[in-house]
Amino acid sequence: MPSTSLGLYTNNAITLLTSGLSAVATSVSVSTGTGALFPVPSGALIFLVTMIGSTGSPEIAKVTAVTGDTLTLVRGQEGTQHGASSQMTS
């Protein structure tokens, strides 16, 4: 996957979460096979995702690891609030 000095990125990746995401969760499972749409961070590299909650409010999270269809998150980035989510984009 491409990288920049700020981290990894991918264009227009979108997936659904396999179940609701609680406000305190630090990892998320995405639809089968869609984890491959996202970069695989290593070392200090990360990428950002936007998760959309049921109310339509976005939350930005850093992704620090991808294993199959599971992403490890650092939530509430760029001033966004932790919330329950069902959809993810990058």
HSE toward the beta carbon, residue 8, CA cutoff 13 A? 21
CA 83 remoteness from chain centre = 13
3-state secondary structure of 14: strand
Confidence class for position 3, pLDDT limits 50, 70, 90: very low
Choice between 90 and 79, residue whose per-residue pLDDT is larger: 79
pLDDT of residue 86: 60
pTM as predicted: 0.84
Q: What is the pLDDT of residues 22-76, one digit of tens each?
A: 888 999 999 999 999 999 998 889 999 998 877 788 889 999 999 999 999 999 9
Whether 88 shows a pLDDT value over 80: the answer reads no
d(CA 12, CA 15): 10
